[in-house]
Amino acid sequence: MSKVGETTLVLDFSALEHNYNYLRSQIRPETKFLGVVKAFAYGSDMIVIARKLEQLGADYLAVAYVSEGVLLREAGIQLPILVLHPLASNFDDLIEYYLEPSIYSRNILNQFLETAKLTKKTAYPVHIKFNTGLNRLGFSEADIDYIAKKTKNNGSIIIVSALSHLAASEDVNEREFSLKQISSFENLSNKLTEKLDYAPMRHMLNTSGIINYPEAQFEMVRSGIGLYGYGNQANVDAHLRPVATLKTVISQIHQIDINESVGYNRAFKSNKPLKSATLPIGHADGIGRQYGKGKGFVTINNKKAPILGNVCMDMIMVDVTDIDCKEGDEAIVFGPKKSAENFAATANTISYEILTAISQRVKRELKNN
């Protein structure tokens, strides 16, 4: 991996391809694969990741909001794009860019039907979201007759899939609950199919679901975090490769005397002489204040350098007393050897949070091998 001269998120396409192929190997050949690229492809680069997934043979993409789907269409992405949380205020853009909404409530269904009618659409693809226990978004069993009545003879739309979402697919202690969710979804989707007289495809499994509940893969599966190298379980992580490596450089080195302080609010005070290095990365780049005061650390020349004091907006200072280093040397925040999961754990959080927090001002660099 080439040396960087500034804070850079390096994206390894070979790792993405490896992860995609591994996850594909866990499902039946005929099962469709949806790649989740919401939140700038989990903090990486939504457009380049979507293009790569398109090349690799993904069947669908998913985003959270309409604006994300618009960016993909404007970049030339042709795959079907599911919008997981569409809002009525964006329906005109959704239709203009041929994005497919997840319909999750009576209100959203009625508003989308009205928009589809006004824009003279026929057989516009929509997805019906069922709530099976996550209690976030979705219809209940009591809504099935209503959905069928509103859609069955309505030429404006066609239901192409029914979906739900597992709440704790990675947690072996919640296996009974996950199986209950799967059973509930199967029941709900079957009842919907009976009312419609045609069979939309079904999808429920996320990354951990693909691994732990392969019997419930139905006609399609969805993977987000797994594509980026994280499986939420150590035995799964062993088969995956982190796509993103966050690197920065040493801007300046200081000799800190006893009783001197480092950073805002004098949050670190030395009780012995030490050497600090200042790095051009801070909470505006996604490294939150919760990583300060010795919790988080970076790696410099294969040695651990804890963060000193508070994280600043644009900088952190780290302890390099026992590290042979100089200004211009690289510092690794996370990557293949020290994963985002490991880094996040120092602040009692998860890989999803640190990955999606990396700001857009951080340079992205593609690595193809």
Share of the chain above pLDDT 90, in %: 96
Higher pLDDT: 83 or 367? It is 83
How many Å apart are CA 271 and CA 260, to the nearest integer?
A: 8
Using pLDDT thresholds of 50, 70 and 90, give the confidence band for residue 105. very high
pLDDT greater at residue 232 or residue 217: 217
Q: What sections of the chain are H helices per DSSP?
A: 13-25, 38-43, 46-56, 66-74, 91-96, 106-118, 144-151, 175-196, 207-212, 234-237, 340-345, 351-357
Architecture of domain 244-367: Beta Barrel (2.40)
| DSSP tag of 254 | E
Integer angstrom CA distances of residue 99 from 66, 67, 175, 219, 227? 8, 10, 34, 20, 22
Rounded Cα gap, residues 188 and 197, in angstroms: 14
Q: How far apart are CA 181 and CA 205, in angstroms?
A: 11
Q: Is the pLDDT of residue 303 over 80?
A: yes
Fold of the domain spanning 31-228 = TIM Barrel (3.20.20)
Q: Kindly report the CA angle at 193 between 188 and 194, in degrees rounded to 5?
A: 100
For range 39-49, the mean pLDDT: 98
Asked whether residue 2 carries a pLDDT value surpassing 90, the answer given is: no
| Whole-number pLDDT of residue 178 | 98
The yes-or-no answer on residue 367 being catalytic is no
Choose, from 65, 97, 98, 264, the residue flagged as catalytic: 264
d(CA 206, CA 16): 17
Evaluate whether 27 touches 211 at the Cβ level (below 8 Å): no
Residue type at 347 in one-letter notation: A
Choosing from 20, 22, 38, 352, the catalytic residue is: 38
Domain ranges of the chain: 31-228, 244-367
pLDDT the model gives residue 369: 65
d(CA 350, CA 353): 6
Q: How far, in Å, CA of 215 to CA of 269, rounded?
A: 56
Q: What pLDDT, on the 0 to 100 scale, is given for residue 148?
A: 97
The mean pLDDT value for 287-304 works out to 97
Mean pLDDT of the region 263-281: 97
pLDDT tens, residue by residue, 135-193: 999 999 999 999 999 998 899 999 999 999 999 999 999 999 999 999 999 999 999 99
Annotated catalytic residue 38: yes
What is the Cα 326 distance to its own chain's centre?
Answer: 35
Report pTM: 0.95
pLDDT at residue number 179: 98
